[in-house]
């Protein structure tokens, strides 16, 4: 039977694998473009001693700066639009805000919390931050850039990890000592349901389409698959021992599981639920994170004092980044100053029914940008507004399955790193019998087909 792991005396929220402190998710961003348009990526890794190391991965993995934060940092999360990030300081019961501006990167005054923070996550638009307060069995909500806690929400025993659905409607909270997951309405701030899972759930990830939630059960060596609609476990997948972290590829087709007990990363096909690979590592992995393009998976190995780089196509380690100290935790993607970031997302619709939406592109400089289609959909038509990013996708007649398209954004005024990474919008098309209006483009009747935009933009570039 699984026994809870011992906790450090000074940092009671940290549970550790046999050799190393627990780490949640590594802070990073790699913008994958052609060399001429590549934006310089940053890697944020909180280290022991209350500091955060910032690396420039676009310049030979150089250490840029080490910032001092509060004591006992236990998690880091960053706004999906860049510019700000929060570090949870467990011992001090505070959050430290990291801000990137034209004058450099700095740490603001700590924000007091009503308990010890153990994990945190931004809403998809970056307007709010939700913080798991482990011993208090609560979730706290703050406004991004705010100075006080807006409200707290009771959940299960020892919330240890949390994730938010892409539509910002629901929070799924892994309760480590309750062996269950709390489902919270983010807008109503109420507990909606409690879902039993495996022993000692330690990580949560939501499919980009928002339909499925994955939970890593450290004490059971399994991953629970939760259906959002029914709020029930619909499958259990056996992986390596002590799974402690999860990362979904940007298109949602594969789930990577850090298994600290076997020094491996298990790879799961999300469509079949089968484990397709087990990637060996030098030491116990404790955190995972993808670059936005899905080209590289970064894995924190605290006992090796390193971050391993995995090629998700080869399912193999291709490089290692050494760290100046043992990482104590890590966080979500953080964007360096001046970088344009196109955001991947997942959508769902039914056969013969169009779906509308807006492409996401963040810029810490606030520049006006255009959107361009890079790879068109295969099983449908796409109409895209180059100036706003608004789009309408119409699936092919009677098509049932998955489709996707890719895009990038570009600053109209130029400036540093004026072209973003390439992001993917995936569309799940389910059963349905509603017919689309003939020739109707809905609210985007004046949009221009994305492929034409790409061709025109390429023409303009070639004439410069």
When pLDDT is averaged across residues 380-406 and rounded to a whole number, the result is 95
- The closest of 316, 310, 320, 375 to 342, measured between CA atoms, is 375
Contact 325, 300 (CB under 8 A): no
Residue 462 has pLDDT above 60, yes or no: no
* Backbone dihedral angles phi then psi of residue 406, each to the nearest 5 degrees: -125, 150
**Cα 88 to Cα 345: distance, rounded to the nearest angstrom:** 27
**Cα 209 to Cα 220: distance, rounded to the nearest angstrom:** 27
- Which residues, at least 6 apart from 164, have a Cβ–Cβ distance to it below 8 Å? 121, 122, 123, 124, 130, 170, 171, 172, 186, 206
- The closest of 297, 188, 208 to 251, measured between CA atoms, is 208
**Strand 423-430, strand 73-78: pairing:** unpaired
What pLDDT does 239 receive? 98
When pLDDT is averaged across residues 137-143 and rounded to a whole number, the result is 95
Q: Provide the 3-class DSSP secondary structure of residue 66.
A: strand
26-35, 114-123, 125-134, 387-396, range with the lowest pLDDT: 26-35
55-64, 143-152, 258-267, 338-347 — most confident range: 258-267
Give the global pTM: 0.72
Q: What is the DSSP string of 377-416?
A: -SSEEEEE-TTT-EEEEEEPTT--EEEEEEEEEEETT--S
Write 50-53 long-range contacts (CB < 8 A, 24+).
50/89, 51/325, 52/76, 52/87, 52/98, 53/323, 53/324, 53/325
Give per-residue pLDDT as tens, 70-122.
666 667 887 776 667 888 888 889 998 887 665 567 788 889 999 999 899 99
**Cα 11 to Cα 200: distance, rounded to the nearest angstrom:** 19
42-46, 61-65, 254-258, 286-290 — most confident range: 254-258
For Cα atoms 212, 217, 223, give the angle at the middle one, nearest 5 degrees.
Answer: 40
Contact 172, 156 (CB under 8 A): no
- Which residues, at least 6 apart from 249, have a Cβ–Cβ distance to it below 8 Å? 255, 256, 290, 294, 312
Contact 339, 36 (CB under 8 A): no
What percentage of residues in the chain have a pLDDT greater than 70?
74
When pLDDT is averaged across residues 427-448 and rounded to a whole number, the result is 45
Q: Does domain 27-322 match CATH 3.30.420.10?
A: no
- Which residues, listed in sequence order, are joined to residue 356 by a DSSP beta bridge? 392
8-22, 69-83, 238-252, 392-406, range with the lowest pLDDT: 8-22
What pLDDT does 33 receive? 23
**Strand 316-322, strand 380-384: pairing:** unpaired
Helices within 26-69 (DSSP H only): none
What pLDDT does 416 receive? 61
Contact 292, 31 (CB under 8 A): yes
Residue 144 has pLDDT above 50, yes or no: yes
More confident residue, 317 or 461: 317
Residue 287 has pLDDT above 60, yes or no: yes
More confident residue, 401 or 416: 401
- Residue 272, sorted as left (phi over 0), alpha (psi -120 to 50) or beta, turns out to be alpha
Q: To which residue do tokens 């789009």 refer?
A: 391
Residue 296 has pLDDT above 70, yes or no: yes
Give per-residue pLDDT as tens, 8-59.
222 222 233 333 333 333 333 222 222 223 344 567 777 777 777 777 666 5
CA 217, chain centre distance (Å): 19
Element spanning 429, H or E: strand 423-430
Question: Do the two domains 27-322 and 340-463 of this chain adopt the same fold?
Answer: no
Please report which confidence band the pLDDT of residue 452 belongs to, taking 50, 70 and 90 as the band edges: very low
- CATH H-level, domain 340-463: superfamily: Immunoglobulins (2.60.40.10)
The domains of the chain are located at: 27-322, 340-463
**Cα 297 to Cα 255: distance, rounded to the nearest angstrom:** 11
When pLDDT is averaged across residues 115-140 and rounded to a whole number, the result is 91
What pLDDT does 391 receive? 96
Please report which confidence band the pLDDT of residue 390 belongs to, taking 50, 70 and 90 as the band edges: very high
**Cα 156 to Cα 135: distance, rounded to the nearest angstrom:** 10
* Dihedral angle sign, alpha carbons of residues 132, 138, 139, 141: negative
**Cα 148 to Cα 144: distance, rounded to the nearest angstrom:** 10
171-185, 202-216, 221-235, 404-418, range with the lowest pLDDT: 404-418
Contact 43, 59 (CB under 8 A): no
Please report which confidence band the pLDDT of residue 294 belongs to, taking 50, 70 and 90 as the band edges: confident
163-177, 316-330, 443-457 — most confident range: 163-177
What pLDDT does 322 receive? 83
Q: To which residue do tokens 């939700």 refer?
A: 130
Through-space distance between the first and last CA atoms of the chain, rounded to whole angstroms: 67
Output the average pLDDT for the chain: 78
Residue 318 has pLDDT above 90, yes or no: yes
- The closest of 19, 461, 95, 3 to 260, measured between CA atoms, is 19
- Which residues, listed in sequence order, are joined to residue 195 by a DSSP beta bridge? 181
């Amino acid at each position: 039977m699984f026994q809870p792991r011992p906790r450090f005396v000074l940092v009671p929220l940290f549970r550790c694998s046999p050799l190393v402190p627990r780490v949640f998710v590594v802070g990073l961003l790699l913008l994958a473009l052609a060399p001429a348009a590549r934006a310089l990526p940053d890697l944020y890794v909180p280290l022991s001693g209350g500091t955060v190391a910032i690396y420039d991965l676009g310049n030979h993995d150089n250490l840029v700066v080490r910032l001092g934060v509060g004591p006992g940092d236990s998690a880091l999360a960053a706004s999906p639009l860049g510019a700000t990030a929060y570090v949870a300081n467990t011992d001090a019961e505070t959050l430290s805000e990291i801000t990137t501006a034209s004058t450099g990167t700095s740490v603001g005054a700590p924000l007091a919390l009503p308990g010890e923070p153990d994990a945190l996550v931004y809403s998809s638009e970056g307007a709010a931050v939700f913080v798991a307060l482990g011993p208090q069995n609560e979730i706290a909500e703050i406004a991004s850039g705010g100075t006080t806690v807006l409200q707290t929400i009771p959940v299960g025993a020892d919330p240890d990890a949390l994730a938010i659905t892409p539509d910002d409607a629901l929070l799924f909270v892994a309760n480590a000592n309750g062996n269950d997951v709390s489902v919270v309405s983010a807008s109503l701030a109420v507990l909606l349901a409690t879902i039993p899972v495996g022993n000692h759930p330690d990580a949560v990830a939501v499919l980009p389409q928002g339909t499925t939630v994955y939970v890593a059960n450290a004490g059971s060596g399994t991953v629970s698959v939760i259906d959002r609609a029914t709020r029930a476990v619909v499958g259990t997948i056996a992986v390596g021992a002590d799974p402690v972290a999860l990362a979904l590829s940007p298109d949602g087709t594969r789930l990577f599981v850090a298994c600290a007990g076997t020094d491996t990363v298990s790879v799961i096909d999300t469509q079949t639920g089968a484990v397709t690979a087990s990637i060996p590592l030098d030491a116990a992995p404790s955190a995972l994170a993808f670059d936005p393009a899905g080209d590289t998976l970064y894995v924190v190995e605290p006992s090796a004092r390193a971050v391993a780089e995995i090629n998700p196509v080869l399912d193999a380690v291709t490089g290692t980044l050494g760290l100046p100290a043992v990482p104590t935790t890590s966080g979500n993607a953080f964007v360096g100053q001046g970088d344009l970031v196109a955001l991947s997302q997942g959508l769902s619709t039914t056969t013969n029914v169009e779906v509308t939406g807006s492409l996401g592109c963040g810029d810490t400089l606030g520049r006006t940008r255009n959107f361009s289609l890079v790879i068109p959909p295969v099983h449908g038509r796409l109409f895209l507004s180059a100036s706003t990013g608004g789009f309408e996708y119409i699936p092919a007649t009677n098509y049932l399955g998955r489709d996707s398209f890719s895009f990038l954004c570009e600053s109209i005024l130029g400036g540093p790193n004026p072209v973003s990474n390439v992001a993917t919008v995936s569309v799940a098309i389910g059963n349905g019998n509603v017919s689309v209006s003939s020739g109707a483009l809905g609210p985007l009747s004046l949009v221009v087909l994305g492929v034409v935009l790409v061709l025109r933009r390429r023409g303009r570039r070639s004439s410069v």
